[in-house]
Amino acid sequence: MLRLLKWVLIVTLIIVAVTVGLFLLRDKIAKTAMEQQIREQTGMDVKIGKLSTKLLSPIASIQNLTLYNTAEFGGTQFLNIREMQIEFDREALVHREIHFKLLKLHIAELSVVKNDLGQTNIVAMVAAAKLKSTKGMVHFKGIEVANFSISKISYLDLKNQKNNRQLIVNLQNQVFRNLNTPGDFYSAFVLIWHSKGESR
């Protein structure tokens, strides 16, 4: 469950960075700004395939957001978000608050990597994110409606590949309402975790 909580923090940091970028800028400039913001928050390289926004609209979508592990974890893919759609409260963001009316998130793959020293990428990434998120961050005020889909979770052991495995989850359109506190998120992701598929 500790890994689950760390995973939730990672996704939340990415969503916050994306939302701030959308509010400040548009399209290609916003895409570059978001990539830079995510790099600063996570310490990882990131690529965004496509960003779609409309002028003066609080609705936006992102396709193929890929986060890559650092060199100590092989430089492999860490997280692939196939699609993310958000509708956020612009007035709240003016007051340095993030409030989502809708968040639709489809995670194609999450890869947990254990390096030669026995450290995992999730632990390392969360530690780096904590150091960089203590100053000037906006305040999270919750999500009215969240729709989560998760396809696959992979585990890679760089020291012993015999330990490598995949968990085919294939959960689609898991809808949750009023996710306002860490406890709300924890309960939602525990339900997702217990609904997962069989490992291979």
- Mean pLDDT for 97-107 is 90
pLDDT at site 19: 60
pLDDT at site 6: 57
Q: Is residue 199 part of a domain?
A: no
| Segment 110-158, tens digit of pLDDT | 999 999 999 998 877 766 665 454 445 567 788 999 999 999 989 999 9
In angstroms, the CA 75 to CA 166 distance is 18
pLDDT at site 59: 86
> For all residues of the chain together, what is the average pLDDT?
80
Q: Within 13 Å of residue 95, how many CA atoms lie on the same side as its CB?
A: 7
Q: Is residue 6 part of a domain?
A: yes
pLDDT at site 3: 55
Q: Is residue 142 part of a domain?
A: yes
Q: Is residue 200 part of a domain?
A: no
| Residue 161 phi, psi dihedral angles, 5° rounding | -70, -15
How many domains are contained in the chain? 1
- Mean pLDDT for 161-185 is 88
Per the model's pLDDT, the better-predicted residue between 36 and 28 turns out to be 36
Q: Is residue 164 part of a domain?
A: yes
Q: Is the pLDDT of residue 81 over 90?
A: yes
Q: Is the pLDDT of residue 77 over 60?
A: yes
Domain range for 137 is: 2-194
Q: Is the pLDDT of residue 14 over 70?
A: no
